[in-house]
A and B are shown apart, each in its own frame.
Chain A
Amino acid sequence: MAEPLLRIENLWRRFDVSKPWLNRVIEREERQYLTAVADVSFDIRKGETFALVGESGSGKSTIAKMVVGLLSASRGHIHFDGRDLTSLPPAEIRAQRRRFQMIFQDPYASLNPRWRVGDIIAEPLRTFGIARGAETSREVGRLLDTVGLSAGDADKFPHEFSGGQRQRIAIARALSSRPEFIVCDEPTSALDVSVQAQILNLMRDLQDEMGLTYLFISHDLSVVHHMADRIGVLYLGRLVEVADGKALFRDPQHPYTRMLLDAVPDLAAGGRGRKRVEGEIPNPIDPPPGCAFHPRCPLAMPVCREKVPPAVPTKTGFAECFAVAEETV
């Protein structure tokens, strides 16, 4: 099998959420840490769409930010095309950074309202020295055309566009440095369904044309099902299951994945007798010991309360669960 484009190895991220020093002294409290990402490892192959799903607080966006370098990792390694981004010298990282880009959730917040669209898209071109002078505006026009806008839109400001059009601008900006890899953090969750369909179709077309690799982050399982080749499921910062897209939906292994799939309202599901979902996500500052899912898990055993389950290989990936481990033995 080909070398993966991105390899995440035992990635951790802790945030210090302590109160200010004086409060800690007066209230006699310890420092507090929130473990947003715990021991996460996965590979993304060239040309595929790897999706991360999970509910709020599961660490999806933290992983995305670490991959593109907006956050540093507390521990672990991020290999991009064979190079470890966590240990490269800054100049080297800068050279690599042209090759990966990010699309953010909120197209209202991710575009500078005081800049013209042309300048927004041209910035990466200038920064990375890809185009100069008249060439720049020709390139901007071409990019706008690629995402379904017109070259004349370059002179407008972001507020003149609708949400879907703004997301197209954000995609054009991401494409401008000719990246191979794009991290998409909830790219359509701020959009209406009919507009979402336009953006998802566009992203797929671009992938086919340019051979892009996507890390696709979403809480919407039906969108993930539509887009992803492989899927990773996060729960409280841990990657509990990885499987091929269709396999995950057909035959989920981890009890949390099963619960999540049961919970999605689906068009075809009118009146289906669904299983009751129990409980809520625990506080990530003080997660349950052992497997973090055990208080909500119908299959929980005594060992689940004590030890973090190891990754058990499944047909198309792995699952971190003692119950799954028992079944496969």
Chain B
Amino acid sequence: MTDEPLLSVRDLVVEFPTRRGTLTAIDRLSFDIARGEVLGMVGESGAGKSLTGAAIIGLLEPPGRIAGGEVRLAGERIDTLSPEAMRRIRGKRIGMVFQDPLTSLNPLYTVAQQLTETIRAHLHVGEKEARNRAIALLDRVGIPAAARRIDDYPHHFSGGMRQRVVIALALCAEPELVIADEPTTALDVSVQAQIIELLKEICTERGAAVMLITHDMGVIAETADRVAVLYAGRLAEIGPVRDIIDRPEHPYTQGLMGSIPAISDTGDRLVQIPGAMPRLNAIPPGCAFNPRCPHAFDRCRIDRPDALGRPGSRQVACWLYDREEAAHG
């Protein structure tokens, strides 16, 4: 099977048991990532973006746990693996880039130590070879005088340079998938552009797929092939990036797009979604978006819509489109 997706997430459920009942932070989430593809994952804080990333790589913080569904990497289930087996996949087959480059590097080790350790943990190469690879990689991510700077400690590097080191670290074992969780949020605009460009370029070059988690639609517009929009731990809409941005179908996505001030707009009033995303202990029955939705009707308050297939390999979880289809059929 050649067109099998690299990563396949099916009906993923992540729960947090608490004294006052179980909170469902991710509720039956399904999506695929093809080889070499960049999937953007957007949503507001608390929508479950980062949690999805953490669940895939087996780094959910207890008491959070996967309560249902499955995650497959190249056809093989990885959500049921032992922590030991999962650790071998993490770093080797799935690389990670986190938001804050200062906390994802160990301040007590030089960049050389951290890179060679990771390379040698996953690839069968000697110390010398690992160091050479590390230097080549640092050079590739744009660190000037890599051969000299490799022996510096993380605090010697600026924020943007540190994030380059983290990208080198994520890519050093030649992973098939890179999960980048808000990789540029801690950086300034002018540096952000450099890092996004680099991440995209280097992943294309190595054929690695990327799951790019961000709240910044601008970053998604420039980087992603497809985009998944999350709302209250559920998938609202998924599809090719230009379709979603230019012609959003889910009312939440429509509101979200309208609420973003764009440099190309005319400076009119921004579209405003009333209210705020529900807390996890107060998700309404039916569609989670129904209390804020301008088009909500009776069915939305009772039944939860599943992701419906739409033309152009798009999926939308909204009853509006079911009704439309019924009317047409």
Using CB atoms and an 8 Å cutoff, list the residues of chain A in contact with chain B: 55-56, 162, 164-165, 192-198, 200-201, 204, 219, 221-223, 225-227, 246, 249, 259-272, 274, 276-277, 280-281
Contacts of A222 in B (CB 8 A): 218, 260-263
Residue among A192, A222, A267 with the highest chain B CB neighbour number at 10 A: A267
* Contact B257–A270 (Cβ < 8 Å): no
Q: How far is the CA of A262 from the CA of B188 in the complex (A)?
A: 13
Q: Which of A223, A266, A271 has the most CB of B within 10 A?
A: A266
Asked, given contacts A266-B221, A267-B217, A280-B158, whether A223 binds B245 with beta carbons under 8 Å apart, the answer is no
> Of A56, A271, A277, which one neighbours B194 at CB under 8 angstroms?
A277
- Chain A residue nearest to B214 in the complex (CB): A265
B161 contact set on A, CB distance < 8 A: 280
Query: Are A281 and B263 in contact (CB-based, < 8 A)?
Result: no
- Most chain A Cβ neighbours within 10 Å, of B242, B261, B267, B276: B261
Q: Verify B276–A221 contact, CB threshold 8 A.
A: no
Tell whether, in the assembled complex, residue A194 and residue B255 are in contact, meaning their CB atoms are under 8 Å apart. Answer: yes
Select A197's contact among B193, B216, B272, beta carbons within 8 Å: B272
Asked whether B148 is an interface residue with its Cβ less than 8 Å from the other chain, the reply is no
Chain A CB within 8 A of B114 CB: no
Cα distance A164–B46 in the bound complex, in angstroms: 14
- State whether B44 touches A193 (Cβ < 8 A): yes
Q: Which of B188, B222, B242, B262 contacts A219 (CB 8 A)?
A: B188
User: Does the CB pair A266–B263 fall under 8 Å?
Assistant: yes
Task: Confirm or deny: B103 has a beta carbon within 8 angstroms of a beta carbon on chain A.
Answer: no
- Neighbour of A269 across the interface among B45, B215, B218, CB < 8 A: B218
Q: Knowing A197-B271, A280-B160, say if A266 contacts B218 (CB, 8 Å).
A: yes
Q: Are A193 and B188 in contact (CB under 8 A)?
A: no
A-B contacts, 22 of them at CB < 8 A, read A55-B190, A164-B276, A192-B215, A195-B276, A197-B258, A201-B269, A219-B189, A221-B189, A221-B263, A222-B260, A225-B261, A226-B261, A260-B189, A260-B190, A263-B189, A263-B190, A264-B218, A265-B222, A267-B257, A267-B260, A280-B158, A280-B161
* Structural contact, A56 and B188, CB atoms closer than 8 A: yes
| Set of chain A residues within 8 Å of B277, measured between Cβ atoms | 192
**Across the interface, do B189 and A226 meet the contact criterion of CB distance under 8 Å?**
no
B189 engages A264 (CB within 8 Å): yes
- Is B86 on the interface with A (CB-CB < 8 A)? no
- Taken together as a complex, chains A and B put the C-alpha atoms of A276 and B196 apart, in Å, by 11
Query: Contact at A225–B267, with CB atoms within 8 Å?
Result: yes
Do B191 and A280 have beta carbons less than 8 Å apart?
yes
A271 cross-chain contacts in B, Cβ below 8 A: 222
Closest to B259 in A: A197
The minimal Cβ–Cβ distance linking A284 to chain B, given in whole angstroms, is 12
Q: Mark B277-298, 1 if CB is under 8 A from A, else 0.
A: 1000000000000000000000
B243-266 vs A: 1/0 string, CB under 8 Å?
A: 001000000000111111111110
Residues of chain A within 8 A of B267, CB atoms compared: 225-226, 246
- Cα distance A159–B245 in the bound complex, in angstroms: 35
* Contact, CB under 8 Å: B44 / A192: yes
Interfacial residues of chain B within 33-91, with CB under 8 A of chain A in the complex: 44-45
Asked if B303 is at the interface of the complex by the 8 Å CB criterion, the answer is no
Chain B residues near A164 (CB, 8 Å)? Answer: 276
Of B196, B197, B255, B272, chain A has the most CB atoms within 10 Å of the CB of B272
- Of the candidates B222, B258, B263, B272, the one whose C-beta lies within 8 Å of that of A198 is B272
Within 8 Å CB of B45, what residues of A? 192
Complex Cα spacing A280 to B191, Å: 7
Chain A residue numbers with a CB within 8 Å of B219 are 265
CB-CB < 8 A to B189: which residues of A?
Answer: 55, 219, 221, 260, 263-264
Chain A residues with Cβ below 8 Å from B256 are 193-194
Question: Does B273 interact with chain A (Cβ within 8 Å)?
Answer: yes
Say how far B168's CB is from chain A's closest CB, in angstroms. Answer: 17
Question: Which residue in B193, B196, B245, B260 is a CB contact (below 8 Å) of A193?
Answer: B260
B242/A270 in contact, CB under 8 A: yes
CA A263 to CA B273, docked complex, whole Å: 28
A56 / chain B contacts, CB cutoff of 8 Å:
188
Chain B, 167-192, CB within 8 A of any chain A CB: 188-192
- Smallest distance from the beta carbon of A249 to chain B beta carbons, Å? 6
How distant is A244 from chain B, measured CB to nearest CB, in Å? Answer: 12
CB distance from A283 to the nearest CB of B (A): 9
CB of B241 within 8 Å of the partner chain:
yes
Q: Would you call A267 and B158 a contact (CB within 8 A)?
A: no
**In the assembly, what is the distance between CA of A193 and CA of B262, in Å?**
12
**B308 contacts A by Cβ under 8 Å:** no
**In the bound complex, what is the Cα–Cα distance between A57 and B263 (angstroms)?**
24
Chain B's nearest CB lies how many Å from the CB of A38? 19
CA distance A162 to B277 in the complex (A): 10
Considering only CB atoms, which chain B residue lies closest to A222 in the complex?
B261
In the complex, the chain A residue whose C-beta lies closest to that of B264 is A268
Query: Which of A192, A259, A264, A265 is the most central at the interface, judged by chain B CB atoms within 10 Å of its CB?
Result: A265
Given contacts A221-B263, A280-B158, 19 further A-B contacts (CB under 8 A): A55-B188, A56-B188, A162-B276, A196-B259, A197-B261, A197-B272, A198-B272, A198-B273, A200-B261, A226-B270, A227-B261, A249-B263, A265-B221, A265-B222, A268-B221, A268-B264, A271-B222, A277-B191, A280-B161
